[in-house]
Amino acid sequence: MSDIKQQVRGFIASNFIISDLDKLADGASLLEHRILDSTGFIELVSFLEETFKVQIQDDEMVPENLDSLDNIEAYIHRKRAG
């Protein structure tokens, strides 16, 4: 598992009560599985900005970038590259 996904799993594990976090697939929707609620996504954004030193624009707050571990990893890579 990549470092980014590992760190995000760690963030979720220590801030949200999730039973069987290991069973959460990398591609699973965090919203549909109610892993993160609206407050949770705001906290995720802060975590990503602080941890990966990126600035998340408000129009980048979309499921394609944030709603799964796979999406988050791809998004962070793109931000760092671009």
Distance from first CA to last CA of the chain, Å, rounded? Answer: 23
Among candidate residues 22, 28, 14, 66, the one with its CA nearest the CA of residue 44: 66
Please tell me whether residue 62 binds other proteins under the rule CB under 8 A: yes
Output the smallest distance, CB 59 to other proteins, in A.
4
One-letter identity of residue 61: M
Residue 38 binds other proteins, judged by CB under 8 A? yes
In the stretch 11-30, what mask flags binding to other proteins with x, by CB under 8 A?
---xxxx-x-----------
User: Stretches 3-11, 39-47, 48-56, 70-78: which one binds other proteins (CB under 8 A)?
Assistant: 39-47
Please state, in angstroms and rounded to a whole number, the distance separating the CA atoms of residues 23 and 9. Answer: 11
